[in-house]
């Protein structure tokens, strides 16, 4: 009897869809352009922003569920500059969210170190809170 129960449990776990796994960050960082999921999937390094180039914070996250709230923010030091928030209408095996500017602010980006900050919330509780390494815009 115990063998049958264990076998049934193993089958049940093995047949769970991919989105039932824990959410995880696939990519998080800054680029000098709007990135595509294909670029991130290739794993090539993306050009980083400079004081006189566009700047985009990006996050690719896997195994998200309907109702999850994803927020990506472009941060200079401790100052939030630009952010984008999405509440998911359906389960997402892979999701890309970006925030930034396609152009350059007048006079260029302010001095300082910049990073991307990601927050994923599920059922009102923070599931993921992660930041990319800071980089100076030269």
**Does residue 58 lie within any of the structural domains?**
yes
Query: Does position 21 have pLDDT exceeding 80, yes or no?
Result: no
| Long-range CB contact pairs, 44-50, < 8 A, 24+ | 48/135, 49/109, 49/114, 49/135, 49/137, 50/109, 50/137, 50/138
How large is the average pLDDT for residues 39-45? 92
Q: What is the mean pLDDT of residues 35-45?
A: 93
* Domain count within the chain: 1
The answer to the question of residue 5 being in a domain is: no
pLDDT score of 82 more than 60? yes
- Inside any domain, residue 95: yes
Question: How much is the average pLDDT of 55-82?
Answer: 97
List the alpha helices (DSSP H) in the chain.
Answer: 2-14, 37-42
pLDDT at 14 over 80: no
What domain range is 74 assigned to?
19-136
12 located within any domain = no
**Domain contains 23:** yes
Q: Is residue 65 part of a domain?
A: yes
Residue 6 covered by a domain: no
pLDDT bracket for residue 60 (50, 70, 90): very high
In a domain, 93, yes or no: yes
Q: Shortest CA distance to 95 belongs to which of 85, 107, 106, 110? A: 85
CATH number at residue 35: 2.60.40.10
pTM of structure: 0.84
């Amino acid at each position: 009897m115990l063998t049958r129960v264990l076998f049934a449990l193993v089958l049940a776990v093995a047949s769970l869809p991919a989105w039932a796994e824990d959410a995880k960050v696939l990519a998080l960082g800054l680029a000098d352009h709007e990135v595509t999921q294909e670029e991130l999937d290739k794993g090539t390094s993306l050009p980083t922003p400079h004081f006189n180039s566009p700047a985009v914070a990006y996050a690719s996250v896997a195994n998200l569920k309907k109702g999850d709230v994803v927020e990506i923010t472009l941060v200079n030091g401790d100052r939030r500059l630009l952010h984008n928030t999405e509440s998911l209408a359906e389960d997402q095996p892979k999701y890309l969210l970006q925030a930034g500017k396609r152009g350059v602010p007048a006079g260029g980006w302010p001095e300082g170190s910049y990073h991307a900050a990601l927050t994923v919330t599920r059922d009102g509780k923070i599931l993921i809170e992660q930041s990319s390494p800071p980089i100076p815009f030269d």
